[in-house]
Amino acid sequence: MKEHPADSLPFFRSRWVPAPPHVRELGLQAGLPQGFRAAGVAAGIKPSGNPDVGLLVCDADDPVSAARFTSSGTLAAPVLVTRERCRLQSLRVVLANSGCANAATGGRGLDDAAKTQGAAAMATAVDPAEVALASTGAISHLLPVELVLKGLLEARTQLSREGDSAFQQAIQTTDAFEKRANLEVTLPSGVVRLSAQCKGAGMISPRFATLLCFVETDAVLTPETAELLLGVCVKRSFDRASVDGQLSTNDTAILMCSGASGVVVESESEDELRLGEALDALLRALAIMMVADGEGARRIARVLVRGGHADGVEAVARAVANSPLVKAALHGGDPNWGRIVQAVGAAMPGTAPLAVDISIEGVQVCSGGAAIPHDEEALAQAVQRDEVEYEIVLPGEGAETEVFFSDLSHEYVTINADYTT
């Protein structure tokens, strides 16, 4: 993959997610936490010849893990196999590929996935139920099993703690830059490591994951704590990001814990709180990076919605984030906030007249449903920024949510009008 300007930026670069004080960035060369090895190779699945098979292994005696998957009704075979046949609390291996989603492939797809799961188990000397599968790429194509197996055998010989970069490259599709981090987290009981490799640039949306994300830590966690932390942090990160409102068939997020640091994170302890904060910042920063790398994206935005009830703020935030009119205006750096009014109204049918307040980058433009005088110069400049914030206040109090989203660009159309051809 070509060097991208974003690759030289700090990981915590969005104003929306500052680094917690007890979290230190170690840089992209720092390698995986102790107890993990990874590799990525080019097996020929992608016509481009780019890396397309990744292998991630946890060498701990008693690994602990947790996983989350897309809620799609048309789940890809690797998701079905992993969700139904794996011991999700004690995964040891991830076999991932790009270039083929193995989705809409029926019984044959399940068989193909099972074959690669068995082969990975054999190659790494673990039980098949300890091998998670993850695929991404075009839907409806059969998995080229021979190529995956070839890649698996080659990757096995290249496993190393520094393999996270190659692994990351092997799971990428239309991503323009790396979504990867190596962090050091200082807990009251000691110092632990946290790493993540993540892909996602389109078909990114509502209702959870919508991406592949693998997180490794050398902290000692119980399965219950791993489950809790991943669940909460996914809800606050990937679940709040949308590039195009499209839910993928393959979304998978896995947290693996080697325990190699010996630092024990007890349930409901200060350690758990601090590790949770670090994981939260990690996944939120990754979610924002995905949005910033949304197919064709030039600007990203956060819509914050406050108001009377949870369903209302959720519907409004989604409607704004997924409105092609709002997204095109964001792309154009256009202060046309009438599209926000439209999206709010569409999300709250039958409530007119609705006393909605709207501010953009702190400039209030709408009060009680009506336009108010504002500094148009300041607004015009604000919407030209790389990160634009919309704040919407509905009647009532108590509920609040946010969604991060990208703009709608010519490049999005180009990328998606010509993807298979």
**Interface positions, 152-211, toward a copy of itself (CB under 8 A):** 202-203, 205, 207
- Residue 395, C-beta contacts closer than 8 angstroms, at least 6 positions apart: 307, 308, 354, 355, 356
Q: How many C-beta atoms surround the C-beta of residue 217 within 10 A?
A: 34
Contact status: 373 vs a copy of itself (CB under 8 A): no
- Residue located via tokens 């399940």: 110
- Enumerate residues 79-98 that contact a copy of itself by CB under 8 A: 79-80
Figure out which of the listed residues 9, 122, 142, 310 binds a copy of itself, where binding follows CB under 8 A: 142
Contact status: 377 vs a copy of itself (CB under 8 A): no
The answer to whether 402 and 313 are in contact (CB under 8 A) is no
Cβ at position 292, least distance to a copy of itself in Å: 18
Stretch that binds a copy of itself, among 60-68, 266-274, 279-287, 319-327 (CB under 8 A): 319-327
Contact status: 310 vs a copy of itself (CB under 8 A): no
CA atoms 15, 17, 18, 24: torsion sign: negative
* 3-class secondary-structure state, position 167: helix
What is the per-residue binding string for a copy of itself in 329-358, x denoting contact by CB under 8 A?
Answer: x-xx-xxxxxx-xxxxxxxxxxxxxx-x--
Nearest to 27 by CA among 40, 39, 11: 11
**Residue placing its CB nearer to a copy of itself in the complex, 200 or 202:** 202
- Enumerate residues 61-80 that contact a copy of itself by CB under 8 A: 71-75, 79-80
Contact status: 216 vs a copy of itself (CB under 8 A): no
Cβ at position 238, least distance to a copy of itself in Å: 15
Cβ at position 104, least distance to a copy of itself in Å: 5
- Enumerate residues 99-138 that contact a copy of itself by CB under 8 A: 101, 103-109, 138
Query: Residue 27 CA to chain centroid, in angstroms?
Result: 20
**Residue placing its CB nearer to a copy of itself in the complex, 267 or 414:** 414
What's the CA gap between 395 and 232, in Å, rounded?
28
Cβ at position 75, least distance to a copy of itself in Å: 4
**Residue placing its CB nearer to a copy of itself in the complex, 287 or 315:** 315
# of chain residues touching a copy of itself (CB under 8 A): 77
Q: How many C-beta atoms surround the C-beta of residue 33 within 10 A?
A: 27
Cβ at position 205, least distance to a copy of itself in Å: 8
Figure out which of the listed residues 14, 172, 173, 249 binds a copy of itself, where binding follows CB under 8 A: 249
What's the CA gap between 319 and 317, in Å, rounded?
6
- Enumerate residues 392-421 that contact a copy of itself by CB under 8 A: 408-410, 412-421
Angle made by CA atoms 371, 401, 252, in degrees to the nearest 5: 135
**Residue placing its CB nearer to a copy of itself in the complex, 10 or 324:** 324
Catalytic residue, candidates 210, 225, 249, 252: 210
Nearest to 37 by CA among 142, 134, 157, 172: 157
Say if residue 353 is preceded by a cis peptide, omega within 30 of 0.
yes
What's the CA gap between 52 and 143, in Å, rounded?
12
> Is 210 an annotated catalytic residue?
yes
- Residue 135, C-beta contacts closer than 8 angstroms, at least 6 positions apart: 76, 77, 78, 96, 97, 98, 100, 101, 102, 103, 113, 143, 250
**Residue placing its CB nearer to a copy of itself in the complex, 75 or 393:** 75
**Residue placing its CB nearer to a copy of itself in the complex, 362 or 368:** 368
Residue 363 has which token pair? 């400039």
Cβ at position 338, least distance to a copy of itself in Å: 3
The answer to whether 392 and 340 are in contact (CB under 8 A) is yes
What is the per-residue binding string for a copy of itself in 257-296, x denoting contact by CB under 8 A?
Answer: ----------------------------------------
Residues annotated as catalytic are 210
